[in-house]
Amino acid sequence: MRRFSSYGPVDPTQHFSVERRDLVERCVQELVGDPTKGGYYLTISAPRQTGVTWIMRRALEEIRARYGNRFVVGILTVQGTLGEDRTEKAFLEVVPDLLREAFSFQPPAPTDWVEWTRLFERKGGYFDRPVILCIDEFDSLPRKVIDRLVALFRDIYLNRSGYFLHGLALVGVRSVLGVDSPRGSPFNVQRSLPIPNLTRDEATDLFAQYQAESGQVVDPEVVNAVFESTRGQPGLVSWFGELLTEKYNPGPTEPITPAVWNHVYNRACQVEQSNTIMNLLAKARGPYLEQVTALFTDPNVPFVQDKEWCSFLYMNGIIDEAVVPDEAEGSRSVCRFSSPFVQRRLYAALTGDMFGEKGPILAIEPGHTLSDVFVSGGLCVHPLLERYRGYLKRLKARGIDPWVGQPRRADLHLTEAVGHFHLYAWLLNALGRRASISPEFPTGNGKVDLVVRSREGMGVIEVKSFVHMYELGQGYAQTAGYAKKLGLSEATLALFVPVPEAEIPKQIGGDVVVDGVTVRVVPLGWV
What are the φ/ψ torsions at residue 308 (nearest 5 degrees)?
-60, -40
Which pLDDT score is estimated for 184? 47
CB 427 within 8 A of CB 450: yes
**pTM for this entry:** 0.84
Average pLDDT, stretch 98-102? 90
How far is it, in rounded angstroms, from Cα 275 to Cα 489?
A: 42
- Give the tens place of pLDDT for each residue, 355-404: 888 889 999 988 888 899 998 878 999 999 999 999 998 998 999 988 88
Cβ atoms of 198 and 234 within 8 Å: the answer is yes
How much is the pLDDT for 338? 92
Among 255, 259, 160, 144, smallest CA distance to 207 is for 255
Say which residues have a Cβ less than 8 Å from residue 525's Cβ, sequence separation at least 6: 497, 499, 500, 501, 502, 503, 504
Q: In this predicted model, what pLDDT tens digit does every residue of 253-288 receive, in sequence order?
A: 999 999 999 999 999 998 998 888 898 999 999 999
**Residue 133 buriedness (CB in 10 A; 0-12 / 13-18 / 19+):** buried
Compute the distance between CA of residue 298 and CA of residue 296 in angstroms, rounded to an integer: 6
Cα 257 to Cα 311: distance, rounded to the nearest angstrom:
38
Cβ within 8 Å of residue 60, ≥6 positions away: 73, 74, 75, 132, 134
Q: How far lies 74's CA from each of 27, 59, 116, 467, in Å?
A: 15, 11, 16, 55
Q: What band does 188 get if pLDDT is binned at 50, 70 and 90? A: low
